[in-house]
Chain A
């Protein structure tokens, strides 16, 4: 039986956590992702960059008061990739 290959962009714990968080909301800022993933700032920045480069998330940088504020939003491509990934995982687990 052939298994569907897993998307290497999503098959990483932190990147998968970021995308899973964004699936349930319209938009989340960097601090929200930091709190809920438990990642370090540096690692979170790197993984957000990789998701952005893959076209899975849209990143907007602005200011909140005096402080810089980074907001992330899942793109249609990111949502599709997530759905395909979940389907593949379900196949591996025999739930597909």
Chain B
């Protein structure tokens, strides 16, 4: 790498390195897969077992999913930050995007529940925002489509004739908006970086 360079070679080095730096995102697939599975299970449990116990009707599956997901995400995040070789400004933006989403989500959740409403539709619509933007920032199309799918799912849930249809739409959105992009992202991450 010490040979004299022509201007063309210099430009190629710059372009190649900047391209590589652009691809140096933290591993995010874990979060999409984790939350996709947990929230699908929570919705399924809420719908299928609603008649079995009062606690299920009052959101116990969502509380379990939230606490378990939060604990596992924190554990994974701290483990990853110890291993990260690079601090990318885009990672920081994505981190704060999701942090602000969680704050807004909790506020919507509590205010809607206090007013006696169902937060499923506003939360589904809101979920589309960070998913869509993460996809745009990372230039990863499946997440962009996933974000748009959450918006469509929120509208479909609002118009759904019964709770069963609403639950099915939510689960389908989680599957196609989080889990499938999560699997594709994991494959991309594994291809980009050696294990």
Seen from chain A, the residues whose Cβ lies within 8 Å of a Cβ on chain B are 6, 11-14, 16-17, 20-29, 31-32, 35-39, 43, 64-65, 85-86, 89, 92-93
Contact = CB atoms under 8 A, between A and B. Distances in A.
B1 A14 contact: yes
B13 A32 contact: no
Interface of B: 1-3, 5, 7-11, 13-14, 16-18, 20-22, 24, 82, 85-89, 92
B7 A26 contact: no
A43 B85 contact: no
B92 A26 contact: yes
Nearest to A43: B1
A28 B1 contact: no
Contacts of A65: 82
Given A21-B17, A24-B22, A31 B10 contact: no
A60 to B, nearest CB: 12
A26 B87 contact: yes
A24 B24 CA distance: 9
6 contacts: A17-B17, A20-B21, A21-B17, A25-B21, A25-B89, A26-B89
A26 to B, nearest CB: 4
Contact of A28 (B16, B18, B86): B86
Contacts of A12: 1-2, 5
Contacts of B89: 25-26
A66 B88 CA distance: 24
Nearest to A71: B87
A28 B85 contact: yes
Given A25-B24, A26-B88, A13 B5 contact: yes
Contacts of B18: 20-21, 23-24
Given A20-B18, A29-B86, A93 B11 contact: yes
A22 B85 CA distance: 12
A89 B87 contact: no
B194 to A, nearest CB: 8
Contacts of B21: 20-25, 36
